[in-house]
Each structure stands twice: as structure tokens, then as C-alpha cells.
């Protein structure tokens, strides 16, 4: 991004196949607008969200991460969204200790019918992160060392 352009936050959104991903779909078919700053990644469940994904996103240039899942009690896999909730709390505390503002990590429940709500939450989060400014976490420095060019494959972080 050049210096003259205003800061556009990059937000990685993790969505659940059974609810929030469909909510995003619904928002699309209903022509509800939300800012293009978010890049959605579909998981089978918010319980699939390994904190590794969030830290990899932040360490590789994302300014914020949005985690979405089914409302409590409505998880397709019974109670995995509660695990997501606990991981989110723990992750937020850990990242706060590393100096990452809690506002950059957000958890939102959105059912498949809540396209409007999801779009609103995305819009709200983009504005919040915009006001926090760029995260700019230093990346691995290019040419040095083995791990410099390390790319994470999804399989490597499989539970």
C-alpha cells in the first residue's frame, strides 16, 4: 500500500460451514453490502479453528481476525462452538500479553438466517480495526534461514 492511500485493514474471517458461511452467502444473494476488507475462510465448524490459524494470519499481514460460529446450543457438532469460545478467550488473553489489542480478534455468532447481522458485524469490525491502525507484525525476513520461506499447509496443523 502506498503512503498516500488511506489505510484499508485486512481482516481474515473464519466462518462455519453450517451457519456463518451461509449467512455470508445469504448476505450476497440478498445484496446486502459489507466492506471488501474481509477475506472469508470456510471451516467445517468454529471448533476447527486452531489458534495457529489466527496467529499465522496476524504474523503474515492481517490487521484483524473475525471468528464466527453457530449460536450457543446450535452447533452442528453439538458443543464445538463452546470450545471455540474458550479458545477465543484464551487466545485473546495471550495475544494481549504480546501487545495485540483485543479489538483485533472478534468472535461473532451468526446463524444461516442472519445475513444482515453478519454484514453489520463485519462493517463494525472493519471500522474498529481501521481506527486501531495497521498491525504490521514483522514477517519472517526473506533470504535468511530454513524457515524463512516456510509455508504452512493445512494438513500440518491438523489436530
Partner 1 sequence: MSANGKPKFAMYWAASCGGCEIAVLNIHEKILDVDANFDVVFWPVAMDAKYKDVQAMPDKSILLTLFNGGIRNEENEEIAHLLRQKSQILVAFGSCACEGCIPGLANLSSTKEIMDSVYSSVSTVNPEGIRPQTSYLMPEGEIHIPKIYPVLKTLDQVVPVDYYMPGCPPESHQIGAVIDLVVKVLHGEASLPPTGATIGADKSTVCDDCPRERNVKTIKSFKRIQDIEKVDPNLCLLEQGIPCNGLATRQGCGALCPRAGAQCIGCYGPAEGVVDYGARLMTAFASVIDSQDPEEIERILDTLPDPVGQFYRFNLAGSLMRASRSAWNGNGKT
- Please give, one letter per residue, the 3-state secondary structure of 99-139: CCCHHHEEEEECCCCCHHHHHHHHHHHHHHHHHHCCCCCCC
Half-sphere exposure (Cβ direction) of 63: Cα atoms closer than 13 Å: 18
- Please tell me whether residue 151 binds partner 1 under the rule CB under 8 A: no
Stretch that binds partner 1, among 22-30, 62-70, 83-91, 124-132 (CB under 8 A): 83-91
Contact between 49 and 15 under an 8 Å Cβ cutoff? The reply is: no
Q: How far is the CB of 87 from partner 1 (least distance, A)?
A: 4
Interface with partner 1 (CB under 8 A), residue from 41, 44, 90, 113: 90
Interface with partner 1 (CB under 8 A), residue from 61, 72, 103, 149: 72
Binding mask 32-71 for partner 1 (x = CB under 8 A): ------------------xxx-xxx-xx------------
Question: How far is it, in rounded angstroms, from Cα 157 to Cα 152?
Answer: 8
Which residues lie closer than 8 Å to 133 by C-beta, 6 or more apart? 7
Binding residues for partner 1, rule: CB under 8 A, are: 50-52, 54-56, 58-59, 72, 79, 82-83, 85-87, 89-91, 93-95, 97-100, 136-138, 140-141, 144-148, 152, 156-157, 159
Amino acid at each position: 500500500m502506498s503512503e498516500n492511500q488511506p489505510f484499508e485493514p485486512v481482516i481474515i474471517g473464519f466462518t462455519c460451514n453450517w451457519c456463518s458461511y451461509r449467512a455470508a452467502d445469504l448476505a450476497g444473494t440478498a445484496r446486502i453490502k459489507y466492506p471488501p476488507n474481509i477475506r472469508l475462510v470456510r471451516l467445517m465448524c468454529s471448533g476447527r479453528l486452531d489458534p495457529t490459524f489466527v496467529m499465522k494470519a496476524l504474523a503474515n499481514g492481517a490487521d484483524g481476525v473475525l471468528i464466527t460460529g453457530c449460536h450457543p446450543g446450535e452447533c452442528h457438532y453439538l458443543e464445538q462452538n463452546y470450545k471455540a469460545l474458550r479458545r477465543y478467550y484464551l487466545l485473546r488473553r495471550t495475544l494481549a500479553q504480546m501487545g495485540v489489542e483485543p479489538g483485533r480478534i472478534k468472535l461473532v455468532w451468526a446463524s444461516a438466517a442472519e445475513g444482515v447481522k453478519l454484514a453489520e458485524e463485519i462493517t463494525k469490525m472493519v471500522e474498529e480495526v481501521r481506527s486501531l491502525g495497521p498491525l504490521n507484525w514483522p514477517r519472517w525476513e526473506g533470504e535468511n534461514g530454513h524457515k524463512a520461506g516456510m509455508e504452512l499447509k493445512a494438513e500440518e496443523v491438523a489436530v
